[in-house]
Amino acid sequence: MNEPHHTPHTHTHTHARTHAHTRCSRHRWVLAWTLGERQCDDRRRLLDPVVLGRTTVNVTVSSAVSASIKSTWTQAASAWAQQGANPLNASQWAALVDKTQTPGVADVLLWNIGARECADYDNCLGLTHSNGDCACYGGANNAANAATATATATATANHV
Protein backbone atom coordinates (compact mmCIF):
# COMPACT_ATOMS: atom_id res chain seq x y z
CA MET A 1 0.00 0.00 0.00
CA ASN A 2 1.50 3.27 -1.07
CA GLU A 3 0.24 6.01 1.28
CA PRO A 4 1.39 9.58 0.65
CA HIS A 5 1.24 10.54 4.34
CA HIS A 6 2.58 7.51 6.16
CA THR A 7 2.42 8.35 9.88
CA PRO A 8 4.34 6.52 12.61
CA HIS A 9 0.98 5.56 14.18
CA THR A 10 -0.13 3.83 10.97
CA HIS A 11 3.19 2.05 10.69
CA THR A 12 2.78 0.81 14.27
CA HIS A 13 -0.65 -0.70 13.54
CA THR A 14 0.45 -2.34 10.30
CA HIS A 15 3.66 -3.65 11.86
CA ALA A 16 1.80 -4.99 14.91
CA ARG A 17 -0.68 -6.87 12.72
CA THR A 18 2.07 -8.33 10.55
CA HIS A 19 4.08 -9.32 13.63
CA ALA A 20 0.99 -10.97 15.18
CA HIS A 21 0.33 -12.95 11.97
CA THR A 22 3.94 -14.07 11.76
CA ARG A 23 4.23 -15.09 15.39
CA CYS A 24 0.89 -16.89 15.51
CA SER A 25 1.56 -18.71 12.22
CA ARG A 26 4.99 -19.82 13.41
CA HIS A 27 3.58 -21.29 16.62
CA ARG A 28 0.29 -22.48 15.09
CA TRP A 29 -1.67 -20.24 17.45
CA VAL A 30 -5.07 -18.77 16.77
CA LEU A 31 -5.24 -14.99 16.46
CA ALA A 32 -8.49 -13.39 17.60
CA TRP A 33 -9.63 -9.77 17.29
CA THR A 34 -12.13 -7.82 19.32
CA LEU A 35 -13.38 -4.24 19.36
CA GLY A 36 -12.21 -1.99 22.15
CA GLU A 37 -9.37 0.23 23.18
CA ARG A 38 -9.32 0.06 26.96
CA GLN A 39 -12.18 -2.35 27.44
CA CYS A 40 -13.85 -4.90 25.24
CA ASP A 41 -16.87 -3.27 23.58
CA ASP A 42 -18.03 -6.59 22.09
CA ARG A 43 -17.54 -9.74 24.12
CA ARG A 44 -17.18 -11.87 20.99
CA ARG A 45 -13.81 -12.54 19.38
CA LEU A 46 -13.27 -12.74 15.63
CA LEU A 47 -10.84 -15.44 14.53
CA ASP A 48 -8.29 -14.15 12.04
CA PRO A 49 -8.56 -16.09 8.76
CA VAL A 50 -4.92 -15.46 7.80
CA VAL A 51 -3.62 -17.73 10.56
CA LEU A 52 -6.67 -19.94 11.24
CA GLY A 53 -5.80 -22.37 8.44
CA ARG A 54 -2.34 -22.87 9.92
CA THR A 55 -3.70 -24.13 13.24
CA THR A 56 -5.33 -27.35 14.38
CA VAL A 57 -8.52 -25.55 15.47
CA ASN A 58 -11.72 -27.23 14.29
CA VAL A 59 -13.14 -24.09 12.62
CA THR A 60 -13.05 -23.20 8.94
CA VAL A 61 -13.58 -19.79 7.39
CA SER A 62 -15.21 -19.20 4.02
CA SER A 63 -13.42 -17.27 1.32
CA ALA A 64 -16.24 -14.67 1.39
CA VAL A 65 -15.69 -14.01 5.10
CA SER A 66 -11.92 -13.84 4.56
CA ALA A 67 -12.46 -11.28 1.79
CA SER A 68 -14.78 -9.20 3.99
CA ILE A 69 -12.26 -9.15 6.83
CA LYS A 70 -9.44 -8.22 4.44
CA SER A 71 -11.55 -5.44 2.89
CA THR A 72 -12.49 -4.02 6.30
CA TRP A 73 -8.87 -4.11 7.42
CA THR A 74 -7.79 -2.30 4.24
CA GLN A 75 -10.40 0.42 4.81
CA ALA A 76 -9.28 0.81 8.42
CA ALA A 77 -5.60 0.96 7.45
CA SER A 78 -6.41 3.60 4.86
CA ALA A 79 -8.21 5.71 7.48
CA TRP A 80 -5.22 5.41 9.83
CA ALA A 81 -2.86 6.39 7.01
CA GLN A 82 -4.88 9.43 5.95
CA GLN A 83 -6.23 10.67 9.29
CA GLY A 84 -4.08 9.09 11.99
CA ALA A 85 -7.27 7.55 13.40
CA ASN A 86 -10.22 5.46 12.32
CA PRO A 87 -13.41 7.18 13.45
CA LEU A 88 -15.52 4.48 11.76
CA ASN A 89 -14.07 1.55 13.70
CA ALA A 90 -17.28 0.78 15.63
CA SER A 91 -19.51 0.88 12.53
CA GLN A 92 -16.98 -1.16 10.51
CA TRP A 93 -16.87 -3.77 13.27
CA ALA A 94 -20.69 -3.84 13.52
CA ALA A 95 -21.02 -4.41 9.77
CA LEU A 96 -18.28 -7.03 9.72
CA VAL A 97 -19.78 -9.14 12.54
CA ASP A 98 -23.38 -8.78 11.30
CA LYS A 99 -24.29 -12.19 9.89
CA THR A 100 -26.76 -10.58 7.45
CA GLN A 101 -24.13 -8.27 5.96
CA THR A 102 -21.31 -10.84 6.19
CA PRO A 103 -22.87 -14.32 5.76
CA GLY A 104 -20.78 -17.00 7.45
CA VAL A 105 -19.04 -14.67 9.91
CA ALA A 106 -20.87 -16.26 12.85
CA ASP A 107 -18.77 -19.40 12.28
CA VAL A 108 -15.59 -17.48 13.18
CA LEU A 109 -17.07 -15.36 15.98
CA LEU A 110 -16.48 -16.87 19.40
CA TRP A 111 -18.01 -16.37 22.82
CA ASN A 112 -15.81 -17.03 25.84
CA ILE A 113 -16.67 -20.14 27.78
CA GLY A 114 -17.00 -20.80 31.46
CA ALA A 115 -15.13 -23.47 33.34
CA ARG A 116 -15.84 -26.91 31.96
CA GLU A 117 -18.48 -25.87 29.38
CA CYS A 118 -16.58 -27.94 26.83
CA ALA A 119 -15.57 -31.56 27.23
CA ASP A 120 -12.06 -30.53 26.10
CA TYR A 121 -11.91 -27.31 28.12
CA ASP A 122 -8.09 -27.25 28.19
CA ASN A 123 -8.03 -26.91 24.40
CA CYS A 124 -11.25 -24.95 23.90
CA LEU A 125 -11.09 -21.33 22.69
CA GLY A 126 -14.81 -20.59 22.96
CA LEU A 127 -18.22 -21.29 21.49
CA THR A 128 -19.09 -20.30 17.93
CA HIS A 129 -21.74 -17.62 17.55
CA SER A 130 -23.43 -19.56 14.74
CA ASN A 131 -24.39 -22.74 16.58
CA GLY A 132 -22.65 -22.85 19.96
CA ASP A 133 -20.15 -25.53 18.93
CA CYS A 134 -16.82 -25.55 20.72
CA ALA A 135 -13.86 -24.19 18.79
CA CYS A 136 -10.96 -26.26 20.06
CA TYR A 137 -7.34 -27.03 19.31
CA GLY A 138 -6.83 -30.62 18.32
CA GLY A 139 -4.08 -33.02 17.37
CA ALA A 140 -0.61 -31.51 17.60
CA ASN A 141 -1.33 -28.77 20.14
CA ASN A 142 -1.45 -29.64 23.81
CA ALA A 143 -3.33 -27.87 26.61
CA ALA A 144 -0.36 -25.72 27.62
CA ASN A 145 0.09 -24.52 24.04
CA ALA A 146 -3.62 -23.72 23.73
CA ALA A 147 -3.66 -21.75 26.99
CA THR A 148 -0.55 -19.81 26.03
CA ALA A 149 -1.89 -19.12 22.54
CA THR A 150 -5.20 -17.80 23.80
CA ALA A 151 -3.52 -15.53 26.33
CA THR A 152 -0.85 -14.33 23.92
CA ALA A 153 -2.67 -14.07 20.61
CA THR A 154 -5.90 -12.32 21.54
CA ALA A 155 -5.47 -8.81 20.19
CA THR A 156 -7.50 -5.64 20.46
CA ALA A 157 -8.74 -4.34 17.15
CA ASN A 158 -9.22 -0.73 18.15
CA HIS A 159 -8.02 0.22 14.70
CA VAL A 160 -10.56 -1.82 12.78
Q: Which one-letter DSSP state was computed for residue 108?
A: S
Task: Return the beta strands (E) in 77-137 as ranges.
Answer: 109-111, 124-128, 134-136
Could you report the per-residue pLDDT of 87-127, keeping only the tens digit for each? 778 888 888 889 998 999 999 999 887 767 788 878 889 89
47-91 tens-digit pLDDT:
999 899 999 999 999 999 999 988 888 888 888 778 877 777 888
**Does residue 90 sit in helix, strand or coil?**
helix
Instruction: Tell me: pLDDT of 160 over 80.
Output: no
Would you kindly state where each structural domain of the chain is located, as residue ranges?
Answer: 8-156
Question: CB count, 10 Å around CB of 119?
Answer: 9
* For the chain, percent of residues with pLDDT exceeding 70: 73
Provide φ and ψ at 94, rounded to 5°.
-60, -45
Using a cut of 0.75, tell me whether the model's pTM lies above it.
no
- What is the number of helices (H) and of strands (E) in the chain? 5, 6
